[in-house]
Structure 1
Amino acid sequence: MTACKSPPMSAEPAVTVQVSPAPFVLGQNLTFHLGVQHVSEPMHVAVFVEDPAGHVIKLPPKRLPFL
């Protein structure tokens, strides 16, 4: 007689976003800090900006050179 265990459940991905400075003033540069946990594969991030009139644009990605 043998016993089988089911494979362990992986934890759900956890994402945190911090913006600085907080609060910010119109015209200031913003820095986003994105943290992810429990991720075992590559992820992609897109940033969208909505203006007061409701128009939405996607900011282009900043490509980092491979080291």
Structure 2
Amino acid sequence: MNGDGLSLADAVNETCPWSGKPISEDSLTMYKGKTVGFCNPGCRDKFAAAVTHFEAALEAAPKA
């Protein structure tokens, strides 16, 4: 279990969605209530930045 209380056993994936490498205990995050793993903190942080960007874009988009 890492410092955030997240565990590899709870991850919904076994490989990093960016690199395809195995996920690491120090590279877990929560997304929509699920634990998602990455191969390193850099990939985890890249995911967080992408999610933040896309969620902001969706909020700013005009409603159809």
TMscore range, shorter length? under 0.3
Look at both structures and tell me which one has the larger radius of gyration over its CA atoms.
1
Larger helix percent: 2
Greater strand proportion:
1
Which structure has more RCO (C-alpha within 8 Å, separation ≥ 6)?
2
Tell me the TM-score normalized by structure 2: 0.23
